[in-house]
A and B are shown apart, each in its own frame.
Chain A
Amino acid sequence: MACFLVPAGEAVVTTVVQKVIEHQGKKGGEAKAAEMKLKWSKRLGWLNIMLWGGSLLLALEHIWHGEIIATPPFLTAMQDATETSIMLHEMATVGVAMAVTITLIWGIMILVAELKSRTAKVKVQPVRGGA
């Protein structure tokens, strides 16, 4: 009905957070902190693309099924009080589950990327000591 609006709402929030972090990273300051901010801005970008892209494609599916219309109130479920309550319930269950699943998968991606980057740093470090 309108479940994609929940991930889209999350996308708005994460995009704002990403832009703020990116701005702070570009502003400069301590080199290491700025680098860290830019790294997290890039990683948040992955989540943003998944959320925005997913919401866009799901919106097409809703248009296809006649659940979104070009005239107000735009969602057919909002034309009737009973349908609106079903829609809100669906947003609270399916929509939230979608947003949480995407965020969890992004969390796993970050974990893997972090572990890989740490392993790479260990390999690059020069060997100390020796004769």
Chain B
Amino acid sequence: MWLILTALAAVAATIVWYIKSPGDKYKLGILSLMLWGATIMWVVDHIMAFASEGGEFFELGTNATMLGVAVIVLALVAWALTLVITDPKGVLKKIFNK
């Protein structure tokens, strides 16, 4: 389930990034690439596990769904930290210079 949720978040982030392009003032490209990186890695992991062990391709259930949500939250936290550190709009700079 976390693979599906991460892939959905990656698609959503990419669409928003495209709508806001050009410029990428909010660094949505970073969020998008981060989520795509994890999605690709999990696709490879799932395919290889399915090929060697069989069983269900997607793990469904509450625990897997909660993991998916936690993954998206962590990606958003990492993106927010990037925004705060790089301050692309100069918001923090203005606050500290007051």
Chain A interface (Cβ < 8 Å from any Cβ of B): 3-4, 7, 46, 49-58, 60-61, 64, 93-94, 97-98, 101-102, 105
Contact A50 B34 (CB under 8 A): yes
Contact B34 A105 (CB under 8 A): no
Residues from chain A with Cβ under 8 Å of B34 in the complex: 49-50, 52-54, 56-57
Docked pose: A94 CA to B41 CA in angstroms: 9
Docked pose: A56 CA to B76 CA in angstroms: 12
Question: Is the contact region of chain A dominated by helix, strand, or loop, or is it mixed?
Answer: helix
Docked pose: A79 CA to B70 CA in angstroms: 27
Q: How many inter-chain contacts with C-beta < 8 Å in the A-B complex?
A: 78
Docked pose: A50 CA to B43 CA in angstroms: 14
Given contacts A57-B6, A98-B45, contact A64 B70 (CB under 8 A): yes
- CB nearest to B35 among chain A residues: A53
Residues from chain B with Cβ under 8 Å of A51 in the complex: 37
Docked pose: A56 CA to B37 CA in angstroms: 10
Q: How far is the CB of B50 from chain A (nearest CB, A)?
A: 12
- CB nearest to A93 among chain B residues: B48
B71 CB within 8 Å of chain A? yes
Residues from chain A with Cβ under 8 Å of B71 in the complex: 57, 60-61
- CB nearest to A60 among chain B residues: B74
Q: How far is the CB of A70 from chain B (nearest CB, A)?
A: 17
Contact B74 A56 (CB under 8 A): yes
Contact B44 A50 (CB under 8 A): no
Contact A54 B78 (CB under 8 A): no
B84 CB within 8 Å of chain A? no
